[in-house]
A and B are shown apart, each in its own frame.
Chain A
Amino acid sequence: MGELLREDEALLISRSQSGDVNAFNQLVLYYQQIIYNMILRMLGDRDTAADVAQDTFIAAFRAIQSFRGGSSFRAWLLRIASNQACDHWRRTHRHPIDSLDSAMDEDEPHGGSLLSTLVTTDQAVNPEEFLLNQELQELIQKGLQELPLDQRVAVVLCDVQGLTYEEIAANTQTSLGTVRSRIARGRARLRDYLYRHKELLPRSYRLLTDRE
């Protein structure tokens, strides 16, 4: 897909702002994978994610006049994407997980390196180079979907998209403190989820406990 230079991006944005769809489509081609993956991690379903991604780009094109140069276009697109994904989730899930019941994921320090039971020793040494098998991928994805929306947005923006806390705060129109708290609670909840479902994982991922 290649690199998109800042000046090129600025030019494409300004052409899009004067209504040039073809210019906008070049931006779409560059960002569609990021946006699609963001939504996919939020919603979990590929077909749905594709539809919502399409909606996101349509909404972005319509709102592009409101984009201010100088700020990150990627962060701006991600905001539209997360809004679209949240809207879709709320429409299709009548009984959203109550963010208040997240008390359960608050600091209950548990003994032992429980989650480490999930991964093999080699991978634990160098976690950045995980090659997740299909089951583990699905488990993590399901765990993400168990998170309350606000925590899910924060965790996905932070850990999937790599946005800074500041960018996430701007993105979700909240304070840094709120972002920090949401990310922490989301991660803790996900950790507990993964631990609760460790029996779904293949044997090879339980080496650590067996050893201990």
Chain B
Amino acid sequence: MAQQDEHLTTEQLSAFLDKQLSPAERAVFDAHLANCQQCQSRLADLRLTVALVRALPQEEVPRSFVLPSRLAPVAERPTPRPATVTPVPQQRRARVSVLQRTVRTVSTLAAVLALIFILSGILPSHLGGGGASTASETTAGSSNQSAPSNSANTPHFQGTATLGRTPAADGTKTPVQTPKSTPAAKVQSNTGSRTPPAVQPPTLPPFLDLSQPEGRLALGALLLVLGIIGLVVTRRRRGTVY
């Protein structure tokens, strides 16, 4: 009885219209509604409101919303389509294609650089030394080189090597060895000073050492791989844009 005196909530009325009342709720609902004029008219109003919204006509589209086929990422055959291009998709496509172009350009540059590195790593050892690759000759290990030319190259080599070296490795090794090797007995210590380059790889990753052909080869290969990945990714990216 007490339940029936409480008016139904709008939520109950609304849910009733959508048949969303649980059986228990429904029982209370029916019991109250049967005897309450006020809730009956509230229900009628709500029902009418819903009916009015539902009666809103479906409007025709003012234009077609098909996408321009240029948006096609993996479009096999770009067939000419009625151009329904709006400024919005154009902007977005432009942004995406700028990003793609940038990545592609960078990848191409990386690949070109890679080839240069690889060539400069390969050529000198084959041609027996060009003028530009003095440093590589020392480490190329052409053991039959004359002593003077070697000693002339050694400081030069160490100078370039420090560029690629970490400051820590620099501070520990080079200062100790350079004074010993160069000013002192040249020919004698020359063979001794040849050891550092050979020992160097452990302290310095070979691919970081640009003065060595192996280093350039490695770096070239790395760049080449990066370049290829970049190109492949941008080609695939066009599919999943965003």
Q: A residues near B, CB below 8 A?
A: 18-22, 24-25, 28-29, 32-33, 35-37, 40-41, 46-47, 50-51, 53-55, 57-58, 61-63, 65, 105-107, 109-116, 118-119, 124, 127-128, 130-132, 136-137, 140-141, 144, 155, 158-160, 165, 180-181, 183-185, 187-188, 190-191, 194-195
Contacts and interface: CB of A to CB of B under 8 A. Distances in A.
Contacts of A110: 42
B58 interface: yes
Interface in B46-94: 46-69, 71-76, 79, 81, 86, 88-89, 92
Contacts of B88: 51, 54-55, 58
Interchain residue pairs A-B with the least CB separation, the first 9: A127-B51, A184-B14, A19-B74, A130-B55, A115-B45, A184-B11, A113-B41, A25-B66, A21-B72
Contact of B18 (A40, A158, A190): A158
B14 A128 contact: no
A115 B49 contact: yes
B239 interface: yes
Nearest to A56: B65
Contacts of B51: 127-128, 130
Interface of B: 7, 9-11, 13-15, 18, 20, 38-39, 41-42, 44-69, 71-76, 79, 81, 86, 88-89, 92, 238-242
A188 B65 contact: no
A57 B240 CA distance: 15
Given A109-B39, A180-B20, A116 B45 contact: yes
A183 B14 contact: yes
30 contacts: A18-B239, A21-B67, A21-B69, A21-B75, A33-B60, A33-B61, A47-B62, A50-B62, A54-B86, A54-B88, A57-B67, A58-B67, A111-B41, A113-B44, A115-B44, A115-B45, A115-B49, A116-B44, A119-B52, A127-B51, A127-B52, A128-B51, A140-B53, A159-B50, A183-B18, A185-B11, A187-B14, A187-B49, A187-B50, A195-B45
Contacts of A195: 45
A116 B92 CA distance: 49
Contact of A109 (B38, B44, B69): B38
B63 A50 contact: yes
Given A19-B75, A21-B71, A114-B45, A128 B65 contact: no
Contacts of B59: 33, 36-37, 40, 46
Contacts of A28: 64-67
Given A53-B61, A58-B92, A114-B45, 19 more contacts: A18-B74, A50-B65, A54-B65, A54-B88, A58-B71, A58-B89, A65-B240, A107-B9, A127-B52, A130-B55, A132-B52, A160-B56, A180-B11, A180-B14, A185-B10, A187-B10, A188-B46, A190-B53, A195-B45
Contacts of A53: 61, 65
B10 A19 contact: no
A125 to B, nearest CB: 11
Nearest to B70: A21
A19 to B, nearest CB: 4
Nearest to B79: A22
Given A25-B66, A32-B61, A50-B62, A109 B7 contact: yes
Given A188-B14, A190-B53, A20 B72 contact: yes
Contacts of A158: 18
Contacts of A63: 242
B53 A160 contact: yes
Contacts of B239: 18-19
